Amino acid sequence: MRYSYEYKRKCVELYRQGIWPPTPDGIKDEKNFRKMIRGWYRIEENCGPEALKYKSQNKRWTPQERYELVAQVIVGQSIKETAFRAGINSGMLYQWVQKYKTKGYNGLIDIKKGRPPKEPQMKKEIKPTPLTESEREELIRLRAEVEYIRAENEVIKKEIALREEKEAARLKAKKQQLSKNSAKRDIS
């Protein structure tokens, strides 16, 4: 359930006065609701009333900022207290501590998640720079050279095809000659 900023402030004020606010409809466990109110109170005490507002976008923590929080926990401060002072969830800080213990500082660096793109070159837009005069001249020369080589290749392909035709005709004639000779032998 998502609570409004005003509702959170009202609950915290009642908690300060020593009064538990009534549990809203749909909440089955009153203990968890009271635990949440104590958490709101601690966040407001450490970070101010603005910390109870929902942010449109989550804060990006740099590895250095994460390390500072993890260092506080390693020195001996409690995870919950450090998390409340920083205005983050204690579970997130616990994960950072575990990553730091297993992987060191590199565990605190964000790793890009998800499947890599199949064709990364499609993602990047390549904008070619305009050609200089010398590059343009070289391009014209290279295109002419490519055309010459293509024409040469066509000639070579035609020569090969003619040779193959001649060879096929020669083999056919030889085969016919052999078949005539074998026919004469059979008759004799």
Q: Burial of 111 by CB count in 10 Å (0-12 exposed, 13-18 middle, 19+ buried)?
A: exposed
Backbone angles phi, psi at 127, to 5 degrees: -105, 110
pLDDT of residue 186: 60
d(CA 145, CA 12): 82
Angle CA 66–68–69, to nearest 5: 65
Tell me the whole-structure pTM to 2 decimals: 0.47
Q: What is the mean pLDDT of each run of 10 residues along the chain (188 residues)?
A: 82 88 81 85 80 72 91 91 83 92 88 76 72 91 95 95 94 87 67
| 69 three-state secondary structure | helix
pLDDT of residue 129: 85
Angle CA 144–149–153, to nearest 5: 150
Whose tokens are 């078949």? That residue is 179
Q: Give the start-to-end residue ranges of the domains of the chain.
A: 1-54, 61-111
Alpha carbon 142 to its chain's center: 40
